[in-house]
Chains A and B, each alone.
Chain A
Amino acid sequence: MLTYILRRLAVALAVMLTVAVVSFLLLHLSGDLATAIAGP
């Protein structure tokens, strides 16, 4: 059972990291962030 939990935990952490990378990239690659913050 412990092996199973550790295996699922490792997968969960890998998914978390992937989500962090993808959300960061989507936000920063969707245009110039500085222009978006400053406005027109």
Chain B
Amino acid sequence: MQYGLDRPMVTQFFEWLGSALQLDFGRSFYFQNTVMELVGERLPITLKLGAMSLLLAVAVAIPLGVAAALYRDTWVDRLALLVATIGQAMPNFWFALALIVVFSVGLKWLPVAGNASWQNFVLPAVALGYYAMPSLMRLTRAGMLDVMGSDYIRTARAKGLSPARVVFKHALRNAIIPVVALAAVELGFMLGGSVVIESVYSLQGLGQLAWDSIARNDYPVVQAVVLIIATFYIALTFVADVLNAALDPRMRTR
């Protein structure tokens, strides 16, 4: 009766939904804090990890995609596609462990676990970002290949503009539109998919909280985390759609 389990399911749902809209998800069964206090402590860590991973993925994917498109069917293109294929094929938990073995245990450059300083986020960000990078790279490459054959690029070259100006000011600006949308969606994936990486690196983020709560049958926390991650993902997809429409007006009619 304390948790309202004697009431009909529909009543329980609307009571829970009403509380959730006021950001009241109840108390954790395991910890003695409220669910929002737990989420408030852990969410910034997951957001920091997600943002760093995305920045890393974009910083590698876009130059690699541009180079692959400009030097199509050369060793540059093959190398970029190889890097992308390896990123897509390799399980990210295995890659995370391999990074620990090489950089933390072997070279002792970076810490193994925890979230004490920014250095603790480097390896997790690399592991998570490397998983997202291939799709961004392939999309950039495809977009650039499509755009470089356009009439306005031919015009820009005929006007005597430098190759760098043609590529970065004219071509990339149009090719990057779907990449921006995908990057927003990838951030949602990273927030939800950080469970494994946070467990490997012992980062006390939202993913680790979800994992521990599932193991302990801590239902209020599980419900809250699922809803919060879903909200972030839906919000980021919405932002991606709006950005796409703002950058490409043709999308508004679809």
Q: Give CA–CA (A35, B132) in the complex, Å.
A: 41
- B86 contacts chain A at the CB level, 8 A cutoff: no
A28 engages B230 (CB within 8 Å):
no
Q: Give CA–CA (A38, B204) in the complex, Å.
A: 27
Shortest distance from the beta carbon of A35 to any chain B beta carbon, whole Å: 10
Which of the residues B3, B16, B234, B252 comes within 8 Å of A19, measured between beta carbons? B234
Contact with B along A4-19 (1 / 0, CB 8 A): 1100110010011001
B13 engages A24 (CB within 8 Å):
yes
- Give the segment of B74-82, B89-97, B238-246 that binds chain A: B238-246
Q: Give CA–CA (A37, B222) in the complex, Å.
A: 13
Chain A residues near B231 (CB, 8 Å)? 16
Chain B residues near A27 (CB, 8 Å)? 219, 222-223
Q: Give CA–CA (A14, B208) in the complex, Å.
A: 28
Within 8 A of A (CB), among B196-254: 217, 219, 222-223, 226-227, 230-231, 234-235, 237-238, 241-242, 245-246, 251-252
Shortest distance from the beta carbon of A27 to any chain B beta carbon, whole Å: 6
Which of the residues A4, A16, A23, A24 comes within 8 Å of B234, measured between beta carbons? A16
Q: In chain A, what residue has the closest Cβ to B230?
A: A19
Q: Give CA–CA (A20, B242) in the complex, Å.
A: 24
Which of the residues A9, A24, A37 comes within 8 Å of B223, measured between beta carbons? A24
A20 engages B252 (CB within 8 Å):
no
Chain A residues near B16 (CB, 8 Å)? 24
Contact with A along B1-45 (1 / 0, CB 8 A): 001010001001100110010000000010000000000000000
A23 engages B245 (CB within 8 Å):
no
A20 engages B227 (CB within 8 Å):
yes
Q: With A5-B242, A37-B3 given, is the CB distance from A28 to B9 under 8 Å?
A: yes
Shortest distance from the beta carbon of B233 to any chain A beta carbon, whole Å: 9
Q: Give CA–CA (A30, B78) in the complex, Å.
A: 48
A8 engages B227 (CB within 8 Å):
no
Q: In chain B, what residue has the closest Cβ to A9?
A: B238
A23 engages B227 (CB within 8 Å):
yes
Q: In chain A, what residue has the closest Cβ to B21?
A: A20
Q: With A12-B238, A33-B219 given, is the CB distance from A1 to B252 under 8 Å?
A: yes
B17 engages A37 (CB within 8 Å):
no
Which of the residues B13, B29, B238 comes within 8 Å of A21, measured between beta carbons? B13
With A24-B16, A27-B219 known, 15 other A-B pairs at CB within 8 A are A4-B242, A4-B245, A8-B241, A8-B242, A16-B231, A19-B230, A20-B227, A23-B227, A24-B13, A27-B222, A28-B12, A33-B3, A33-B5, A33-B219, A37-B29
Interface, chain B (partner A; CB < 8 A): 3, 5, 9, 12-13, 16-17, 20, 29, 217, 219, 222-223, 226-227, 230-231, 234-235, 237-238, 241-242, 245-246, 251-252
